[in-house]
Structure formats: structure tokens, C-alpha cells
Amino acid sequence: MRNDTVSAIRKIETNRDDLFAYEITGHITSAEVENIYGLLTGAYSQYETIDLLIRLVDYEGMDWPTLFSQTTQDLRKDALKHLKNYAVINGPLWLEASIALVQPFLDVKIRAFAADDEGEAWAWLNAKPL
């Protein structure tokens, strides 16, 4: 378990200005869910559309009620208007299944990658970490 004073979210610098990449470690709290959407909202003020990469490390779950709050639903709806490509690395199996289920109904392209396939995720986004 990580120290609760340390954020679970760490920005990953990339070679593309319009690609926003984050590493999320351990348990994701309600505040961190709102934080990541806040970071993305800031990105949308700079770029009409962006690509997103999320790398999960030692995932320990999340504060589930946050995902279903009206605020989070509004933020998610706004995010879908601005995302082109979204790569998730090392997500749990339920997340991969969810992506497969909803992908046909979305304009954004979402792909899940195993931890060992991280290089493939970066290549798919035509990017690399710095």
C-alpha cells in the first residue's frame, strides 16, 4: 500500500505535445479521479483533440462511487469529445472487457495493452516517453 500523501498519478513526459500520458499506481481515490479529469480539461484548453496513455502499476482498485457521480459522468462525456486515441497499459481484465464492449459505440479509439506490450502501445500512438 502506498503512502496516502503521495499522489497515485504521475505525468509521463512524451515526444508529442498533444499526447498526455500518466502512470497511475496502487489504489485510485475519488480525489485522484477528479484530478485526472482536471488535468485532461486543462489539455483540452490547449488542443481540440488529444491522445491519452494511461499506465497502471500495481493496481489496487478505486473508489467506485466516484465513477458514477454526476460530476464524473459529465467529465467523462466531455473527455470523449476530445480524445482521438486512448491506450491503457496493464489494466485489469474487467477493463479490457469493458473496452471491447463499448468500443463499437465510440468515436475515440481505445486499446488495452498488457504490461509486456507497452512498446506496442507507444508505437500505436506514434510516440515515445522521454
| DSSP-assigned letters across all residues of 91-108 | --HHHHHHHHHHGGG-SS
- Give ∠ CA 88-31-100 in degrees, rounded to 5: 25
Write down the pLDDT at residue 53.
98
Q: Show the domains of the chain with their CATH numbers.
A: 9-124 (3.30.750.24)
Q: Spell out the per-residue pLDDT of the chain, length 130, in tens.
A: 445 567 789 999 999 999 999 999 999 888 888 888 889 999 999 999 999 999 999 989 888 887 788 888 888 888 889 999 999 999 999 888 999 999 999 999 999 999 999 999 999 999 999 9
